[in-house]
A and B are shown apart, each in its own frame.
Chain A
């Protein structure tokens, strides 16, 4: 009798232990693969990526610079041997020459991320071939390094990446951010607004005048996730678009007096993009919890959505930012409290 009891206890404990581990894993992220000598990735690897609908990470090094390819299985149209080896050298200061070893197209687009050892202050860069701009390059990275991300299909054999000119507003904001001192916050806990930046307009004071219409540019992107895929909630993998762009730069019409939040809500509705927000009284603004089913904290505990208007990350909520004609609004997903999307935290 006693023996039977002890057997049962062991059994119950075993069951409860096993039950704790039985969770539902969807697509497993494969480990990053080092690009072999010669750079050839064989067809069977590509086919596996395609059939498992997985994301492949291939890394290598050239002249002391690390680079990695991120390839989405869902993007792969045809499978064949491809060469992922890349030669990177910094020909001049802040001019990166990139040469692919691939001849002809891969048959799909892959994301090439180049890890620079220095920090570029700019927000974007462009790739040039024979002094002609060919593709735009997005910049991510942390406090003291920058990652260049470009979408390539292999047909562009060789190009030079140069940073775009730093806009005046950027340099202004940099300076003012540097010398902000401890000073009083307003009633909604907002630090002083840098010189030359628009002051917040409280939502209750905003008067929308539907007779006057203006246009602004809106875009939504999450390319930082592609650099932090190992932190991403595996269930959310399918929500990440292959280039990281959820909404490409789009001209949007708005009425006088509307805030960034009003326009974001309308744009998302019109384009059928999922968006969830919650009203936060202490900041007197809406808080964007998630766009396109990518929520805050989905890619690490420091992740979430930030907005960026004309090269500046406002230090107040998006319901308090009143848009002006011609504003360029970018919504970017950060995995590191904004450090990886070019927001200088002081």
Chain B
């Protein structure tokens, strides 16, 4: 686990990066591009979260991938390569299996990118980016995103407090435990509502969203952000061009057809790779620099 240097860039750079990467991951269905995106998402997640990211991939992404790969051919029977027949008489086709696999990888990739997104674009960055343009919505969004971890933490406190007065949720008959659980839930709902009202009142009394109100922010847009923005802009434009000339063309039904790999299409795939791998490389370079400085001290 290393220091996330990419997260220290201007929020605009972070946000644009995720918009591009998540957008392309959802649109491009060429297996090579999907592989690139999946591997880069994994690499970045492991780099910033370490073991936790590996666990998340194994626990959530892998089952989802396998599930869609199995589910798709059960419902879609299109495709020219018939492998065998279901008891209903409909064929199981190679194309539908591969398509299911492809959608599964896409789903897992996008999930991983969103994990990274949440880690990098913290709620203060989000409010900084959108507080002015869409004040109400951005506050609601960041509150909602913050709600689940906060709710979990508060629930632990409440459960502990209840235990100390003799209402242990892990002991007693099923009926008794359920009664305690309902009490805890009722406390939590009250707390959540009250908390929301308090937050809203507090933000209102601070003049959130009013005209002329300034906000403290520690983000500076300096040269490296400029270069990063240019880089992202170049990659984005290049990849959109690639999509228009259908360099990422890949069709599953009725038969698999794709644009073969040649110098041009490889160049588009390469640009996609250097776009996706950008934060991982930045972090690695930064780490190396730090180690060199450290050893010189």
Interface residues of chain A, those whose CB is within 8 Å of chain B, are 1, 4-5, 8, 11-12, 15-16, 18-19, 21-26, 235-236, 238-239, 265, 269, 272, 274-277, 279, 290, 293, 295
Check A295/B78 contact, CB under 8 A, given A26-B257, A235-B251, A276-B91: yes
- B residues less than 8 Å from A11 (CB atoms): 233, 236
**CB of B16 closer than 8 Å to a CB of A:** yes
Closest residue on chain A to residue B76 by CB atoms: A276
- Asked if B240 and A18 sit within 8 Å, CB to CB, the answer is yes
Check A19/B27 contact, CB under 8 A, given A276-B90, A293-B254, A295-B78: yes
Closest residue on chain A to residue B249 by CB atoms: A24
**CB of B166 closer than 8 Å to a CB of A:** no
Partner of A22, one of B240, B251, B254, B257: B240
**Which stretch, B1-9, B79-87, B175-183, touches the partner chain A?**
B79-87
- Asked if B27 and A293 sit within 8 Å, CB to CB, the answer is no
Q: A19-B27, A23-B246, A275-B90 are in contact. List 8 more A-B contacts (CB 8 A).
A: A1-B221, A8-B12, A22-B243, A22-B244, A24-B246, A239-B254, A265-B89, A293-B80
Interface residues of B in 217-266 (CB under 8 A from A): 221, 229, 233, 236-237, 240, 243-244, 246, 248-251, 253-255, 257
Interface residues of B in 1-48 (CB under 8 A from A): 12, 16, 19-20, 23, 27
Closest residue on chain B to residue A236 by CB atoms: B254
Q: How far is the CA of A12 from the CA of B236 in the complex (A)?
A: 9
- A residues less than 8 Å from B12 (CB atoms): 5, 8
Q: How far is the CA of A53 from the CA of B248 in the complex (A)?
A: 21
- Asked if A235 and B244 sit within 8 Å, CB to CB, the answer is no
- A residues less than 8 Å from B27 (CB atoms): 19, 22
Q: How far is the CA of A18 from the CA of B20 in the complex (A)?
A: 13
- Asked if A25 and B254 sit within 8 Å, CB to CB, the answer is no
Interface residues of chain B, those whose CB is within 8 Å of chain A, are 12, 16, 19-20, 23, 27, 77-80, 82, 85, 88-91, 93, 221, 229, 233, 236-237, 240, 243-244, 246, 248-251, 253-255, 257
- Provide the main secondary structure of the chain B interface: mixed
- Asked if A235 and B253 sit within 8 Å, CB to CB, the answer is yes
Check A293/B79 contact, CB under 8 A, given A22-B244, A26-B257: yes
- A residues less than 8 Å from B251 (CB atoms): 24, 26, 235
- Asked if A25 and B246 sit within 8 Å, CB to CB, the answer is yes
- Asked if A18 and B244 sit within 8 Å, CB to CB, the answer is yes
- A residues less than 8 Å from B16 (CB atoms): 8, 12
Closest residue on chain A to residue B30 by CB atoms: A24
- Asked if A290 and B78 sit within 8 Å, CB to CB, the answer is yes
Partner of B23, one of A15, A269, A275: A15
- B residues less than 8 Å from A295 (CB atoms): 78
Central interface residue in B80, B89, B229, B255, by most chain A CB within 10 Å? B89
- Asked if B240 and A19 sit within 8 Å, CB to CB, the answer is yes
- B residues less than 8 Å from A18 (CB atoms): 240, 243-244
Closest residue on chain B to residue A273 by CB atoms: B82
Check A4/B254 contact, CB under 8 A, given A18-B240, A269-B85, A293-B79: no
A-B contact pairs, 15 of them (CB 8 A): A8-B16, A11-B233, A18-B240, A22-B244, A23-B246, A26-B257, A236-B254, A239-B80, A272-B82, A274-B79, A276-B77, A276-B78, A276-B91, A277-B90, A293-B78
